[in-house]
Structure 1
Amino acid sequence: MMNKPLLLLVALTFCCCIASLHGFTLNTCRCRKTTMRPVFAKMVKKIEVTPVSGHCPRTEIMITLRSGVKICVNPEAKWFPNLLNTLQKKNAVSTPESRTASTPSF
């Protein structure tokens, strides 16, 4: 008689342990190593900045080049803010605001 409640208790404890382990994630940073070497704006296809999270304890900056190569940049790289400014200015010039005028129909 004592075996069924004990078995049930063990099974519930096991389920709770498994459920709580699911909440923990392994260190899944995308960047294993980073570079301090500058990247030219004309080579950049995309920039992804991933802030500190439960998945990775550090900020990650991943630049995808036009060639498809992905480079992880050290967030302390002094040239990175200049690259961002250059790309933002370039995007502001290449995508002007659309200005449309509408006239009432008579």
Structure 2
Amino acid sequence: MNIQVRFLLLSTIVICLAAHGFCIGSITNSRCKCVNVISNFIHPRKYQHVKVFNQGSYCRKVEIVITLKHGKKVCVNPETQWVKRIISFLDKRAAEPNKVITEESSTE
């Protein structure tokens, strides 16, 4: 086989693999987690977990996913007032250092 044909074949393989890798990377990294969001109030007693995904290269918007106690995941609108209050509460709680309350005993 001629050296030029080998080079052409090798170049074609490398270009195809590189293009395939770029396609896979863009599919996995450029997807938002929430397709639909709801604005209806959900009582905090029903929460199991709240996860906030900040905007980034994978998604151009802030996403908030609430996992309910029965396992269902719900995307909520981060612009609604009740969601803002919950996020504010969670931020304050995370910022507080663990308070250790000690009582001083006095001996009289």
Per the shorter chain, which TM-score range? Answer: 0.5 to 0.7
**Structure 1 55/86 Cα, relative in aligned 2: closer, same or farther at 3 Å?**
closer
Structure 1 stretches (4+) deviating beyond 4 angstroms?
A: 85-89
What aligned pairs does 1:12-91 form with structure 2 within 5 A after superposition?
12-26=14-28, 27-85=30-88
Per-residue deviation at 1:88?
6.8
Partner AA of 2:31 in structure 1: T
- Identity among equivalent positions (%) equals 26
**Structure 1 4/85 Cα, relative in aligned 2: closer, same or farther at 3 Å?**
closer
**SS of residue in 2 equivalent to 1:63:** strand
Greater relative contact order structure (CA < 8 Å, 6+ sep): 1
Partner AA of 2:56 in structure 1: S
Question: Contact (CA 8 Å) 2:78, 2:84: kept in 1 or not?
Answer: no
**Structure 1 57/84 Cα, relative in aligned 2: closer, same or farther at 3 Å?**
closer
TM-score (norm: length of structure 1): 0.67
**Between Structure 1 and Structure 2, how many residues are aligned?**
97
**Structure 1 8/48 Cα, relative in aligned 2: closer, same or farther at 3 Å?**
same
**Structure 1 5/61 Cα, relative in aligned 2: closer, same or farther at 3 Å?**
same
Equivalent residue in structure 2 for 1:3, among 2, 5, 22: 5
**SS of residue in 2 equivalent to 1:24:** helix
Q: Higher helix fraction: Structure 1 or Structure 2? A: 2
**Structure 1 87/39 Cα, relative in aligned 2: closer, same or farther at 3 Å?**
farther
